[in-house]
Amino acid sequence: MTKDEYIASLRALKRRVFILGERVENVVDHPLIRPSLNACAMTYELAQQPEYADLMRATSNLTGQTINRFTHLHQSTADLVAKVKMQRVLGQKTGCCFQRCVGMDAFNALDSVTCEMDRALGTKYHARFRAYLRDVQMRDLVVDGAMTDPKGDRRLSPSQQADPDLFVHIVERKSDGIVVRGAKLHQTGALNSHEIIVMPTQSLAEPDKDYAASFAIPADAPGIVMIVGRQPADTRKLESGQRDVGNREFGGHEAVIVLDNVFVPWDRVFMAGEHAFSGMLVERFAGYHRQSYGGCKTGVGDVLIGAAQSLAQYQGTDKASHVKDKIVEMIHLNETLYACGIACSIEGKPTASGTYLIDLLLANVTKLNVTRFPYEIARLAQDIAGGLLVTLPSEKDFANSEVGAVLEKYLRGVADYTTADRCRMLRLLENLTLGPGAAAYLTESLHGAGSPQAQRIMLARLADLETKTRLAKRLAGIGD
């Protein structure tokens, strides 16, 4: 699809959406949602530009047709590397989350897991999933990957909860499909998606088999309600001015998705009770998504480094040695994130279905670094920006006939640059580290694709400490 075709396709959806306590019919043009739509639309716009063709497009192994890479099954380590490079470019172009990564990561995890599940259990999910994905590829759809459940009392398993709906589960099995109920939280880009793929949120045991469910549903299927979450300073997008918004064109959103007795036909069901494979699906999806952060967060990091360097120039501090050192440290941290994303891609291996899986150990290293480094990059950027980052008067004050000229005079930095440019750059940096952009760059870095402890658990499991101790004993001359 083209960008315009994508936007038109969203207008055709009839969804139940609530924003700031009100039912909203025209989601596409809502000022709180449109910046996130613009960011997602960039995945279509760049795919039409020849200079980005190698990154944004791929040849489908299912149809042989040229498709958007966001709907592709990785067929080589080159595909895995191209994914990370594509995500960095999109992060640079938008300065925010562009929302299609979760669906792409869900496709690749489901492809290998359904294949191995069929081989072990004699089920028929793999062909069913690939038929679904062919349709997604041919229509170039945005698919929201929904994994995170509310979870309720974290001490209890899904089936032990006081309210059974705190994890999405199957409530009825029919001859033609299943009925599901529950909710998914933190759904990035939900309102910009055509489809939703639901996955279990954790490893499950036999008593929780009704919670081992994966399926695809249209975003406007009966029984679905979407409730948009708040972000810091989000109502600035409702103001008529431009200077205070920070990122003028792009942004993000998250939503609670409620599934109220939603019917799913069998041809859209990819797991229905096979609890033994829930952990594999979660682990592989998380691995792919942790790889993703080595691309998207470095792209946004590039923007943040550029904002800090620009402010140093506007303020006349760019030649100071301590500022140069801070900029170099920001670059070092950012490129380390990218290096890890590339490394786990290069070390990828084919699964039984032929789809390539990243190196899970290195993918978890990538994400664990992402839980830390963006916070330090943001701290250094705020250090360089100075206190005006949080004391800058509003755009309305600059437009006021009595005090506007005074502000223009006293908030000017280096004479070669305008006060307006300095203010716009301060607002962009504020957006990325304190405002709506911080939801994607910082909080998402910490909790998206699993909080830090989830990566530590995987590192402990995958690091093969026994082999490392044998290496040390051999060199130390210690026998078995």
Q: Give the separation between CA 332 and CA 373, rounded to whole angstroms.
A: 10
- Clarify whether 206 is annotated catalytic: no
Going from the C-alpha of 92 to that of each of 250, 295, 362, 478, the distances in angstroms are: 11, 10, 24, 52
Tell me what the mean pLDDT of segment 208-212 comes to: 98
Catalytic residue among 43, 71, 188, 298: 188
Q: Which of 378, 82, 128 is nearest to 267 (CA)?
A: 128
| This prediction's pTM | 0.97
Question: pLDDT digits over 51-60, tens only?
Answer: 999 999 999 9
Alpha helices in 316-418 (DSSP H): 321-346, 360-370, 373-385, 388-391, 395-399, 404-410
Residue 260 has pLDDT above 90, yes or no: yes
Q: What is the pLDDT of residue 243?
A: 87
pLDDT tier, 241 (very low <50, low <70, confident <90, very high otherwise): confident
Q: Which of 415, 414, 411 is nearest to 426 (CA)?
A: 411
Catalytic-role residue among 40, 96, 97, 340:
97
Domain boundaries, the chain: 281-471
Residue 17, pLDDT score = 98
Interior/surface letters 275-306, b for 16+ CB within 10 angstroms, e for the rest: bbbbbbbbbbbbbbbbbbbbbbbbbbbbbbbb
DSSP three-state, residue 480: coil
Greatest extent of the chain over all pairs of C-alpha atoms, in Å: 84
SS3 assignment, position 198? strand
Dig out the tokens for 450 from the structure: 């699993």
289 a catalytic residue: yes
Q: Which DSSP letter does residue 230 get?
A: P
Catalytic residue among 6, 211, 288, 293: 293
How many other CB atoms are found less than 10 A from the CB of residue 151? 14
Return the closest-CA partner of residue 109 out of 220, 198, 208.
198
Find the catalytic residue in 274, 395, 430, 444.
Answer: 444
| Cα-based torsion angle of the residue sequence 148, 153, 155, 161 in order, rounded to the nearest 10 degrees | -90
**Does the pLDDT of residue 240 top 90, yes or no?**
no
Alpha carbon distance 189, 183 (integer Å): 16
Pairing relation of β-strands 16-19 and 224-228? parallel
278-335 residue pLDDT tens: 999 999 999 999 999 999 999 999 999 999 999 999 999 999 999 999 999 999 999 9
Q: What is the mean pLDDT of residues 111-122?
A: 98
273 pLDDT tier (thresholds 50, 70, 90): very high
Is 70 exceeded by the pLDDT of residue 338? yes
Q: Would you say residue 419 has pLDDT above 70?
A: yes
Q: Count CA within 13 A, CB hemisphere, residue 281.
A: 31
Q: Is 188 a catalytic residue?
A: yes
On average, the pLDDT of the chain sits at 97
Marked catalytic residue, from 96, 115, 296, 340: 296
97 is annotated as an active-site residue: yes
Question: Given 195, 254, 395, 430, which residue is catalytic?
Answer: 254
Mean pLDDT of 331-351: 98
Contact 140, 68 (CB under 8 A): yes
pLDDT value of position 242: 81
281-471: CATH topology: Butyryl-CoA Dehydrogenase, subunit A; domain 3 (1.20.140)
Q: Is 340 a catalytic residue?
A: no
Position 61 scores a pLDDT of 98
Mean pLDDT of 447-475: 96
pLDDT for the residue 480 = 66
Kindly state the percentage of the chain with pLDDT values over 90.
99
Q: Is 101 a catalytic residue?
A: yes
Nearest to 95 by CA among 392, 429, 395: 429
Active site residue 115: no
**What value does the mean pLDDT take over residues 138-153?**
98
